[in-house]
Amino acid sequence: MKIKLFWLLVLLILAMLTSGCSGNDKTKESENVKADREITIIGHTGTEVDDFYFEPSEITVKKGETVKLIMESANNVVHGIQVPALKINLTEREPEIFTPDKTGEYEGRCSVLCGAGHSVMSFKVIVEEE
């Protein structure tokens, strides 16, 4: 009986500790940020390499504009996008909010192994003057 009570207490303590860690600060922060624009990007996959692409594959934003990116999948295959120069790391689980402070063209790629055409999935962010 004492052993069962011990394990029950251990499980209760673990449940309490993990419940406080279930969300992450970035998600909570992004909920409070007012974006100037919201853009949804859809990842596509299929049976051929040409079936792997993002829609849109390119976005144009203004320098200083706060943009919220949302990732979705066209067919339940997980995708992500990384654009290292802009510190964008978008996933389906978590929208990405960014405000570019420099103009230029920035290349990104799918960051989640999604199938045979993963390596051809590219993405571009063009940042123009305000």
pLDDT tens-place string over residues 40-89: 999 999 999 999 999 999 999 999 999 999 999 999 899 999 999 999 99
Q: Which two tokens stand for residue 95?
A: 């929208």
Nearest to 54 by CA among 104, 125, 103, 105: 125
What's the pLDDT score for residue 22?
43
State the Rg of the chain over Cα.
20
pLDDT for 9 beyond 70: no
Would you say how long the chain is, in residues?
Answer: 130
Calculated CA dihedral for residues 121, 43, 48, 85, nearest 10 degrees: 0
> Hey, what amino acid is at 41?
I
Strands (E), 28-74: 37-44, 53-55, 58-62, 67-73
Q: What is the mean pLDDT of the chain?
A: 85
Q: Do 56 and 46 touch, CB atoms closer than 8 A?
A: no
